[in-house]
Every structure is written in structure tokens, then in C-alpha cells.
Amino acid sequence: MAGDERWLDDVSDLEHDDVHAVLHLIDQVTDADGVRPLDEHALLHIRRGGDVGARHLLEWNRSTSDEPAQLVGYLHLDSTDEVAGPVAELAVHPEFRRHGIGRNLVQAIIDQSSDGQMRLWAHGESTASAHLAGSMGFTSTRVLWQMRRSLSAALPRLVLPDGVRIRAFNPGHDDDAWVAVNARAFENHPDQGRWTIDDLRLRMREPWFDPTGFLLAVTGAGADEQIVAFHWTKVHGSNDHGHGHGHAQLGEVFVVGVDPEWQRKSLGRSLTVAGLAHLRSRGLDQAMLYVDARNTNAIKVYESLGFARWDTDVLFTRVPS
């Protein structure tokens, strides 16, 4: 590494070539670690742009003056939550770790913060991430479990309340009604409950979007039809970014929501079973989901459906003394 030239770019918008470099780095990190270093929200806005309040820190390295620069570190900063504070995620090239790149990226955003308050997601149980966070004044404040189950194992029988049927989401027809029921279902959720039509349609433009795997539980018919619950499934794998990485495709229980008036009728469980059956019909072997480690009721439901803890994501928070 001696003699290498290294520099940091801090931008609010990524150029086309920078987007390609960031996505390539994320793929390299994913291949090395088995988990993506950034969540879906950050990846959406890297690929699509339009993330108001976002910043991108890119650390470049060049060994000789006649070589092209290589992206060795990236940090995505979302500053839109004025209450909880900015939140960051980062990726460091596997061959350039233990050279202070992650620390340099995090320190850069701390130095430029008005009060030093910051949140940092670490995806996967990484002792290196925990050490970095702890050494820079961060403490663990939230834990998400990733749970998985085999789709080869038997699924429970699907049981629905009288008058409820399941159909696929109809793009352009169900958009407004779904946003409304999503807001009711996640009224107390800090992120999911604030989704707008634009948030929905942004994801509908993603290559993984498949309306046949976006399942709605409805009552009534015609003008009297109502969405009472939903299960939006997702498939990760060879079609990510439009090219393959040799990964087996993996199904996800992306979002399950139930209108408050229809809760306590086991609709969430029933929609989960229906979604798992859909993912299995796609020829997938595994399904995964994320759940807050404190949500013991949801964990018990998922465990009853054959899911087991697979990995952990940790949110670290830095509050100045």
C-alpha cells in the first residue's frame, strides 16, 4: 500500500460512472461477506437517484499515476430524519480492509455533523464493525434478526376468514388503496408507515418487482372491494442489477401488513403462508425475513412457521456527551 495515492470525494449526487463503481464495490463486498453492506433503501437511491438529503462519500485508491482509480470505500449518509439523526452505511473493499478506510469515512461525517449525533448500520454480525463502532463512540441501540427457512419443508394449510380471498396486486389500480392500508397497518412504524405513492412506484420500477408475488387479502367485489392485508414477497439473486453473480436465488418475506380492524384473525400468518407457497412455486429453495429482535410475538409466529435465526443486523448510535 506504500506510495498509493488515496483521496475522498463527498457528493450529493452520483455520476453514472460512480454509480457503476459503487454497485461493483457492493457486489465485491457481498461476494466476500455473504451479506449486502447496504440496505434496500440506500441501494434504490444509488441506482435511481432522487434521494433528497443523501450524501455519498467515495474513497479512491490509485497505485500508479497511469492506473485508473479504484473505489475502495463507500459510505451512504441519509440525513432526512431530523429527530433520530443521520444514518450511515458503509462498504470497504475486501482487499483494502484494516487500513483505516472505514474509520476515515465515518470520521468524515462525524466531523461535518453539527452536533456529532450519528447512527450507523452494520449488516451481519461482524466483530470488526462492532469494534469500529465502539471505538468511535457508538453504542448498539437496535438489533434486527434475519431468519430463514427451507421451502422444501411442508407448509401449514392456508386458512382464511370467511369472505376473504387472496389475489395479486394490480399495478396502477391498487396503488392508492395499498398505500392507505399500509399507512394504517404501520401507523407506529417509523419507516414503513410513511411510504407514499412515490415510494411504492420507486420499488415497482426495480428489476425484482413481480406483481404476482405481491399478494393482497381482499373482501367485497367491484367498487366495494377492500384490501385488508397483504404480503409483498421479493426474490434476491441472479437478476440483481441486471446481471448474475452466481448466487442461488433467495425468496424474502418483504412486508406483511394487516389493517388494524382485521388484526387478531391470523391474517398475517395466513398471508405469510400464501407468500411462502408462491416463492416455492418459483422453484426457490430458501426464504428469509427481517424482524426486530424485541418483537418476540412476531418471532414466535415466524418460528412456528419453520423460520430460525440466521444472522443479525445492528444499529449503532453515537450521542455526543
Express each pLDDT in 308-318 by its tens digit: 999 899 999 99
Q: Could you identify the residue written with the cell 506510495?
A: 3
Q: Do 175 and 140 have their domain in common?
A: no
Per-residue DSSP letter, 150: E
CATH number at residue 275: 3.40.630.30
Q: Do 134 and 210 have their domain in common?
A: no
Q: 146, 172, 200: which is the final residue of a domain?
A: 146
Q: Do 116 and 208 have their domain in common?
A: no
3-state secondary structure at position 81: coil
Q: Do 140 and 11 have their domain in common?
A: yes
Residue range(s) defining the domain that contains residue 132: 5-146
Could you read off the pLDDT of 130-164 as tens digits, one per residue? 889 999 999 999 999 999 999 999 999 999 999 99
Could you read off the pLDDT of 249-307 as tens digits, one per residue? 899 999 999 999 999 999 999 999 999 999 999 999 999 999 999 999 899 999 999 99
Q: Do 256 and 124 have their domain in common?
A: no
Mean predicted lDDT score pLDDT of the chain: 90
Q: Do 128 and 161 have their domain in common?
A: no
Could you read off the pLDDT of 184-213 as tens digits, one per residue? 999 988 678 889 999 999 899 988 899 999
- Number of domains present in the structure of the chain: 2
Q: Do 80 and 169 have their domain in common?
A: no
Q: What is the pLDDT of residue 246?
A: 44
Q: What is the pLDDT of residue 245?
A: 41
Confirm if 233 and 252 have CB atoms less than 8 A apart.
Answer: yes
Q: List Cα–Cα distances, 288 to 149, 217, 253, 267, in angstroms.
A: 7, 21, 6, 19
Q: Do 25 and 132 have their domain in common?
A: yes
Q: Do 121 and 183 have their domain in common?
A: no
The pLDDT of 167-181, averaged and rounded, is 97
Q: Do 93 and 161 have their domain in common?
A: no
